[in-house]
Structure 1
Amino acid sequence: MDNTSWEQKLHALTHILTSPTHAPPLHSQLFIATQIPCYLNWNYPPLLCRRSSSSPPPPPLMRWALSQFIKRGRRLGLPETSWRCKCPYQLPPPLILAKGVAAGEWGEEERRRYVRSRLRRRRLVNDVNPLIPILVPNLLVLLLLFWVPISLQDN
C-alpha cells in the first residue's frame, strides 16, 4: 500500500464510501484492486498484489482468504450487523436487518402503528424503591460505627 499515490487512495476511498456493502460486486472489487492492490485487511481480494521477497511464505491472496475465513468463523457464519441494521426506517434501508427486527413498512397506517408501539414501550429505568440506595449505605456506615472489632475485656 506504500507504493500507491494519494489520488489512487482518494479514488478508492470515495468508491468505498459511496457504495458501502458487505458483498461487493466483481467490478467494484477489480476497481479497488487496481487502485490499491496490496491491502489485505478488508473485503476486497488483493487480486493484483505482487509477491515481494520480504512477504511471508503464503501468497497475499491466500492470506486474505484465510483472514476472511477466520472473520466469518468467529461469527459462526452469521452476517455482520451493526446498530444501523436495527433501524427499519433508515433511508436507504440497511443491507441486512438485525435479528429480531421486522422490515419497515412504508404505508401511512403502518408508520403510525410503529410510532405508537415505540411510544408505548416501557422506559429503561430500574424498578428499585428510591429509599433503598439511600438507606443501605447509611445502615452500613452506622454498622461500622457501632461495631467494635477488639473486645475491651482483653486489656
Structure 2
Amino acid sequence: MEDTTWVQKFEALTHILTNPTRNPSLHSQFFISTQIPCYLNWDYPPLLCPKYQHPSFHLRWIFSLFLKRVSIFGTPTTSWRSKCPYIQPPPLILAKGVKEAKWDDEGKRQYMRERVSRKRIQSDVNPLIPVLVPNLFLLSFLLWNPFPEYDS
C-alpha cells in the first residue's frame, strides 16, 4: 500500500463498496489488482498482479487459501454485517442462527420483542470469587514462604 496514491486507494475502495460480492468477476479482480498491490492473505488471485509473477508466489497463495478454507471447514466467513438482518442492502450471507428479516410490521414487532427479552450479557460467577481468590493467594504468601533460600 506504500506505493499507491490516495486516488488509487479511493477508487479501489469505492469499487469494493459499490460491488459487494463473495465471487468477484474477472473484470473486478483485474481492476483491484491494478489499483493496489496484492498480498498473500487476499481472496483475489495473484495471477493478475504485475508485481508477483513468480510461480512460487502462486503456489504459496494456493496453499494459504487452502489452509484458510480447511481451518473453517469450508463454511463461508461471516462479518458483523451478516449478523444484522435489517440493514440495507441486506447481507449476502446471514450468520448462523440469524433469521431472515421480516419487513412487515408484525415481523418487526416480534424481532424487537425478542431483542428486548434477551438475557443480559453478564457472567454467572459468584461476585465473591474474584475478590476471595486473589486475597487467599496473597494470604498464603504470608503463611508460607516459597523461597526459603532468600530469607534474610
Give 1:122 shift.
2.0
Larger radius of gyration: 1
Which one of the candidate residues 87, 98, 101 is aligned to 1:101? Answer: 98
Q: Does residue 32 in structure 1 map to residue 32 in structure 2?
A: yes
For residue 118 of structure 2, what is the aligned residue in structure 1? 121
Q: Over the residues paired in the alignment, what is the CA RMSD in angstroms?
A: 3.6
Question: Which whole-Å CA distance do the structure 2 matches of 1:83 and 1:24 have between them?
Answer: 20
Unaligned ranges ≥5, structure 2: 146-152
For residue 108 of structure 2, what is the aligned residue in structure 1? 111
Equivalent pairs, count: 144
Give 1:140 shift.
8.5
Q: 1:32 to 1:118 in 2, by over 3 A?
A: same
For residue 18 of structure 1, what is the aligned residue in structure 2? 18
Equivalent residues in 2 for 1:26-105, closer than 5 Å = 26-33=26-33, 35-36=34-35, 39-41=38-40, 42-50=42-50, 58-105=55-102
Structure 1 letter corresponding to 2:65: Q
TM-score, structure 1 normalization = 0.67
Instruction: Give a deviation string over 1:36-73, Cα, whole Å, max 9, x none.
Output: 47513322222333577xx86x3443333332222112
Conserved 8 A contact 1:49-1:60: no
Deviates more, 1:126-135 or 1:15-24: 126-135
Unaligned ranges ≥5, structure 1: 150-155
TM-score, structure 2 normalization = 0.68
Instruction: Give a deviation string over 1:81-121, Cα, whole Å, max 9, x none.
Output: 12321112122111111111111111110000110111112
Question: Which whole-Å CA distance do the structure 1 matches of 2:116 and 2:105 have between them?
Answer: 17
Question: Which whole-Å CA distance do the structure 1 matches of 2:22 and 2:10 have between them?
Answer: 20
Question: Which whole-Å CA distance do the structure 2 matches of 1:87 and 1:104 have between them?
Answer: 9
